[in-house]
Amino acid sequence: EEMRTALLGNYSYSELGNELQKLRPEKRNGNWFSLHELNERLAKLREISKQTKKHGLLGVGQIRETLQIMSRAESENKRKQTMLRLDQLGLLGGTPKYLLSPPKEQLVAKYFHPDNMSAAEKLKLELKKVRDEFKMSESDCGSARVQVAQLTTKIKYLGKVLAKKDKHSRKGLQEMVQRRKKLLKYMRRTDWDNYCLLLSKLGLRDNPD
């Protein structure tokens, strides 16, 4: 009896009520409703569902059930494809797993610390600091004061790293010294205050010639 009245597919309360109402017999006088009569309607509904499935026709409940199954299968398939692509990237030298995580702040700070920079990077950083210190305005990139300060920084740097036999680079160093000399001479004549400021801060000597 239980198998005979078991429903095929999923029904909402409203759908089940509508289907059972369609199968309700004509109303008779007196107390006509009984549990036996309800079971008979459930059995009929099961038989109708069976025939509907047999002929390939789906009711609302069956359509919903089918769509839910398809949706779950599609979601699972997408998840598997995503995991497969990530695994393939790792195998083929693509995006490593550590790049899929956010950067660790302490490692970033350590990487960009001046102690871990190359000599060229350190010089670039030092030139920026010098420009910020000696600039005449926010947009100042090439005033005589900034040029002298940056040339002095480059001269000190090259004086430490150049090999004695590197004649080409030493020629470039000498050209920098001469360019600074001309700029200082010009400033001594036209801008005495800034000339004295440069001598004081850069540790240079006054040379009237």
Q: Write out pLDDT tens, residues 64-108.
A: 665 566 667 777 878 888 777 766 665 555 566 666 667 677 666
Let me know if residue 104 belongs to a domain: no
Q: 65 in helix, strand or coil? A: helix
Cβ(8)–Cβ(46) below 8 Å: yes
Q: How many domains does the chain have?
A: 3
**Within this chain, do residues 94 and 117 fall inside the same structural domain, yes or no?**
no
Question: Residue range 106-111: average pLDDT?
Answer: 66
| CA distance linking residue 61 with residue 20, whole number of Å | 14
For residues 72 and 154, the model is more confident at 154
Let me know if residue 106 belongs to a domain: no
The domain of 39 spans 2-57
**Within this chain, do residues 187 and 115 fall inside the same structural domain, yes or no?**
yes
User: How many of the other CB atoms lie within 10 Å of CB of 179?
Assistant: 14
Cβ(41)–Cβ(47) below 8 Å: no
Claim: this prediction has a pTM higher than 0.85: no
**Within this chain, do residues 73 and 124 fall inside the same structural domain, yes or no?**
no
pLDDT for 9 equals 57
